[in-house]
Amino acid sequence: MWLDDVGLRYHRRGPWVLREVTVSLAPGEAAVVLGRNGAGKSTLLQLAAGVLRPSRGRVLDRPSVVGWVPERFPADQPFSVDGYLTAMARIAGLSSGETERTVRRWVDRLGLGPFRTVRLSQLSKGTAQKVGLAQAMLRPPGLLVLDEPWEGLDAAARELVPQVVDEVLAEGGSVLVSDHRGETVRLPGAREWLVAEATVVERPPSGEAAVAVVELAVPVGQVSATVARLRAEGHHVLGVRGQSAPTVATRPGAGPPSEVTR
Amino acid sequence: MSALVRFRLAGFLRTGRALAPVLAGLLTLGILYGGGRAQPAEAYGVSAVVLFPVLAWQTKVLLDVEPDVQRRLAVVTVGPAREYAAGLVAAAVAGLGLVMVALVFPWLVGGVTGPSLPGERSIPAGVALGLWAHLLALPGAVALGALASRVITRSAGYGVAVLTCGVVGALVFGVAKSAVPWLAPPLLPTARALVGPLPGSTALLLSGWALAWAAVVLSGYVRVRARRA
């Protein structure tokens, strides 16, 4: 998919939110969109997904099936989780048999089983976000666009996002993710697009800026000491699995992390 | 597209917001038929005029029920053209429901009467012409309601202003000696035509006029939609 000299402004005489954006994403590639709040990350994602039409330039070779996970799932709707996903699957063109199988698979996978009959408006933010992820995956997307997908998700579901991304990439799809919390270290290998001053530049991962995720197995009794030692050495600990109270991800105060453990 | 039409109708009906336009329609018809009895075609001609604002309002309510982000999800899933069309078709289907209520209502309250003199229209002919008059009002009302919907007007105030100006314009420009009758949908001309005998050429002209007016307003809706999410 190509964005060719794309510009966007929301009003005819308004300021350019994005201009002269030329980027491309090949099948099997992922890109992380970074930038400060209000820089235009969501706008870029919505242009790529086809929600917004560029005021100038063109978006070329967009895959026919696009999955878009909006930043905030629109939960103010009079449907249950099951009813909503079933309707979205039918809207996406799935037959009734396929709809039933696909909805059941994603409900089970995302842990939405206990909420099947709950109305969308009664879901917690994280659970609603899972419904948002499920609706984007009902048909295997050629382009998956995730706008802050980790927002509000619990630890288990956070791990699921990279899995879903890997699956889309493995099937030849492209993935575009925005993130402002540093969660995208979970997507090693993704290209980095920086949105600033109404344009997009690609940041080559190199030298000190590059990070890798290292997974360690540590005896339970030594977890606290190991985590403390790693932090003292300046590493960014993403989280701890396999104990009742997981350690919250923290970033050391000084210096760029040379590696990341979890 | 039919799945999206069903989804939008379900959203409209389940929120309970469908109730307000239906009650307004029933109230309007109650006032209209409370005064006395008339021949079906004549009564239905006026009924189509008074239902025009209710049908337009109902369209706005139906299109505005869906959250903006859900509408964008529909654009991503089915593409813009089918998303626009599904909203308009859902509004037209809901409008047809109200039209059916309007056709049955006068018979329940004794607001219409059969032919009393030889040469007057039969009841089936009157009902058929009444259906035609309402079907002429529907496309214009759906187009006006769509133009007043939140995705176009962005604020409740502008939405009400578009709706009000459209309805007032339809009545003001539609009077018998209007200098610019074509600025309005042919609501009042249709009601006037149904009082006496209706030549085929007049029926054809009114039908073409109603469709052309709706097409022009809808093209404005589509043009603005193309620039907005």
pLDDT of residue A241: 74
Instruction: For residues A253 and A132, state if they share a domain.
Output: no
Strands A236-237 and A199-203: unpaired
Cα angle: B31, vertex B33, B34; to 5 degrees: 60
Residue A246 has pLDDT above 50, yes or no: no
pLDDT of residue A236: 77
In degrees and rounded to multiples of 5, residue A248 shows phi and psi of -75, 140
Instruction: For residues A77 and A176, state if they share a domain.
Output: yes
Instruction: For residues A231 and A101, state if they share a domain.
Output: no
pLDDT of residue A215: 76
CA distance to partner chain A, nearest, from residue B24 (Å): 23
- pLDDT tens digits, A90-131: 999 999 999 999 999 999 999 999 999 999 999 999 999 999
Residue A252 has pLDDT above 60, yes or no: no
Cα(B205)–Cα(B96) distance, integer angstroms = 22
Q: Which helix (H) or strand (E) holds A60?
A: strand A56-60
CA A53 to chain centre: 22
pLDDT of residue A244: 53
Angle between helices B80-109 and B19-34 (to 10 degrees): 40
Report in angstroms the alpha-carbon separations of A262 from A11, A153, A249: 45, 17, 9
pLDDT of residue A209: 55
Instruction: For residues A157 and A173, state if they share a domain.
Output: yes
Nearest to A74 among B10, B70, B80 (CB): B70
Angle between helices B123-147 and B156-172 (to 10 degrees): 140
Q: Give me the residues of chain B with pLDDT under 70, please.
A: 229
Strands A2-8 and A18-24: antiparallel
pLDDT of residue A205: 62
> How many separate domains does chain B show?
1
pLDDT of residue A234: 80
> How many separate domains does chain A show?
2
Chain B residues in contact with A176 by the CB 8 A cut-off are none
Decide: helix, strand or coil at residue A79. coil
What confidence category does residue A261 fall into, taking pLDDT thresholds of 50, 70 and 90? very low
Instruction: For residues A65 and A154, state if they share a domain.
Output: yes
Region A64-91: mean pLDDT is 96
Domain of residue B193 covers 2-227
Decide: helix, strand or coil at residue A219. coil
Residue A254 has pLDDT above 70, yes or no: no
Residue A239 has pLDDT above 90, yes or no: no
Residue A256 has pLDDT above 80, yes or no: no
Region A67-82: mean pLDDT is 96
Chain A residues in contact with B79 by the CB 8 A cut-off are 50
Instruction: For residues A190 and A215, state if they share a domain.
Output: no
CA distance to partner chain B, nearest, from residue A201 (Å): 25
Instruction: For residues A107 and A182, state if they share a domain.
Output: yes
| Nearest Cα to Cα of residue A175 among A47, A9, A33, A55 | A33
Instruction: For residues A152 and A228, state if they share a domain.
Output: no
pLDDT of residue A243: 60
What confidence category does residue A155 fall into, taking pLDDT thresholds of 50, 70 and 90? confident
Domain of residue A240 covers 211-261
Question: Is the Cβ of A51 closer than 8 Å to some Cβ of chain B?
Answer: yes
Instruction: For residues A65 and A115, state if they share a domain.
Output: yes
Question: Is the Cβ of A255 closer than 8 Å to some Cβ of chain B?
Answer: no
Structure tokens at A85: 């996903």
Report CB contact under 8 Å: A68, B76: yes
* One-letter identity of residue A76: D
Structure tokens at B165: 């100006």
Contact A35, A177 (CB under 8 A): no
Chain A residues in contact with B10 by the CB 8 A cut-off are 78-79, 87
Contact A165, A186 (CB under 8 A): no
Instruction: For residues A199 and A220, state if they share a domain.
Output: no
Instruction: For residues A138 and A42, state if they share a domain.
Output: yes
* CATH code of the domain in which A142 resides: 3.40.50.300
Burial of A226 from C-beta contacts in 10 A (0-12 / 13-18 / 19+): middle
Instruction: For residues A168 and A89, state if they share a domain.
Output: yes
Which residue bears the tokens 């769509």? B146
